[in-house]
Amino acid sequence: MTATTAAPALTARAVLLDMDGTLVNSDAVVERCWRRWSEKHGLDFDEVIEVVHGRQGYASMAVLLPERPMAENHAENREMLAAETSDMEGVVPVPGAPAFMASLAGLPHALVTSADVPLSTGRMAAAGLALPEVRVTAESVGASKPDPEGFLKGAAELGFDPADCVVFEDSEAGILAGRAAGMRVVGVGPRAARFGPTVHVDDLTGVRVADAGEEGLRLTFG
C-alpha cells in the first residue's frame, strides 16, 4: 500500500511528471553506467550516486569534478546518454505507473525529464508506458534541475500558471526544481521523503486522478 504524508487530496489544473524514479525504475541502468564513470575517474560510487539522480549528466559531472572544463562534461554526457540509451535491461515501471498514466489520459499533463528524446522514448517504451503528448526533455532547456526551467516550460506549454500545477518527482534536484517553480510536489519513492515534498507516496499504486470539472483535476492518495 502507498504511504502518504501531509495532504489527503490536491486539486490542480495540470500535472508535470518526472520520468526516472517517478514513472520508470531505471536504477539498475543508472547505477551500471555511473559506476563505470566513477571507476574511470577514481571517485567513490556511493558519493557519486547521491548526486546524479534528477540532474542532467553534465550537471552532475560539474558537481563531482568542479575543476574540469564544462566542455568535457558535455562531451562525456553525450557518451553517457548513448550508453544509457543502449541499455534497457532492468527498466520497469514504478508500481502503479501504468494505471496512473491511464487515468491521466485526456487530462492536462506533461513529461519533464532530464533525459533526452532517445533515452526518454526508449525507457518509457521499455516500461510499457505511453509518452505524454507534451514533453520537456534535455534538448528543450538550457539549465538542468534543480533549476526550475523545465517545469516552468512544461506549465507554459500546457497553458497554466505554475501555482496551478502539481509536480511528481523522486529526487532532491527535482523536488527543489518543482518548489522553485512555485509548484506543489508529490514526492515518489524512498529518495523523496527527506526533501520536503507537499505529499509523499511510496509509489503510484494508491494515487488516484479524477476530473474535477471547473477545478481541473483532483489527486487523492491512499
- Assess whether 87 carries a catalytic annotation: no
Q: Which of 20, 147, 164, 202 is catalytic?
A: 20
Place of cell 560510487: 45
Number of H helices, E strands in the chain: 8, 12
- Assess whether 46 carries a catalytic annotation: no
Q: What angle do CA 79, 64, 111 make, to 5 degrees?
A: 60
Integer Cα distance of 10 and 199 in angstroms = 9
Q: Specify the DSSP class assigned to residue 132.
A: P
Integer Cα distance of 55 and 46 in angstroms = 16
Q: Which of 18, 147, 164, 202 is catalytic?
A: 18
Residue numbers annotated as active site: 18, 20
